[in-house]
């Protein structure tokens, strides 16, 4: 992991905390900038967070919990399988280890819930994302044709045994 990522903290969002609103607003702004409109959760982000089995991990500057560097959203649908639904890093902070740290923290959160398998979908054209997922240990299980749109496929990737994934501890949102 890059030194820049070491100067940040990985936090798990508590939506009831007083600062949570500012953090969520920053994440929604990032969501709008990073993802195409039809892939963005910016309009439904608050509703997604209210789902019982949804978690949000975010990376913050070491000296400012409100400055969001990146985030990962996951859903633990069952004890057998969880899904990483979003992973994004601020453009100016990419290729510094933040995505890897967030992804590992999200998998670790799922592991603590005793989930056996974590999956995600990724556009094969997003080669940097595909490489990141492979680096962390995800393997391509299948290609899902037309996942994002007609003629726009996705790789279905998974880590089958979460107990072997480890990362630095994730702090609960203070």
> What is the reported pLDDT for 105?
92
> What is the reported pLDDT for 70?
93
Q: Please give the helix or strand (H or E) that residue 102 lies within, else none.
A: helix 98-112
> What is the reported pLDDT for 169?
31
The CA–CA distances, whole Å, from 23 to 20, 39, 57, 116 equal 5, 20, 11, 30
> What is the reported pLDDT for 66?
58
Written as six digits, the tokens of 88 are 């994004």
CATH classification of the domain holding 109: 3.40.630.30
Give the span between the Cα atoms of 171 and 52, in whole angstroms: 20
> What is the reported pLDDT for 5?
55
**Model confidence over 52-83: pLDDT tens digits?**
788 889 988 876 655 889 999 998 877 788 98
Task: State yes or no: pLDDT of 172 exceeds 50.
Answer: no
Written as six digits, the tokens of 91 are 């453009």
**Model confidence over 6-56: pLDDT tens digits?**
567 787 787 777 777 788 888 888 888 888 777 767 677 777 777 778 888
> What is the reported pLDDT for 7?
65
Task: State yes or no: pLDDT of 2 exceeds 60.
Answer: no
Residue 101, domain extent: 3-172
* Structural domains in the chain (count): 1
Average pLDDT on 81-89 reads 91
- Continuous H helices in the chain: 3-6, 20-34, 45-50, 98-112, 127-136
């Amino acid at each position: 992991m890059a030194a820049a990522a070491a100067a940040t903290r990985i936090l798990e969002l508590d939506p009831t905390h007083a600062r949570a609103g500012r953090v969520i607003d920053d994440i929604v702004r990032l969501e709008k900038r990073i993802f195409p409109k039809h892939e963005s959760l910016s309009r439904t982000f608050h509703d997604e967070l209210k789902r019982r089995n949804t978690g949000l991990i975010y990376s913050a500057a070491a000296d400012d919990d409100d400055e969001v560097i990146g985030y990962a959203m996951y859903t633990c649908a069952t004890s057998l399988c969880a899904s990483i639904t979003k992973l994004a890093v601020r453009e100016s902070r990419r290729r510094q280890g933040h995505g890897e740290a967030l992804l590992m923290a999200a998998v670790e959160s799922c592991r603590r819930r005793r989930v056996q398998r974590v999956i995600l979908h990724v556009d094969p054209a997003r080669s940097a994302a595909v490489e990141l997922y492979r680096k962390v240990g995800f393997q391509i299980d299948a290609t899902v044709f037309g996942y994002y749109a007609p003629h726009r496929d996705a790789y279905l990737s998974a880590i089958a045994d979460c107990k072997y994934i480890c990362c630095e501890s994730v702090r609960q949102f203070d």
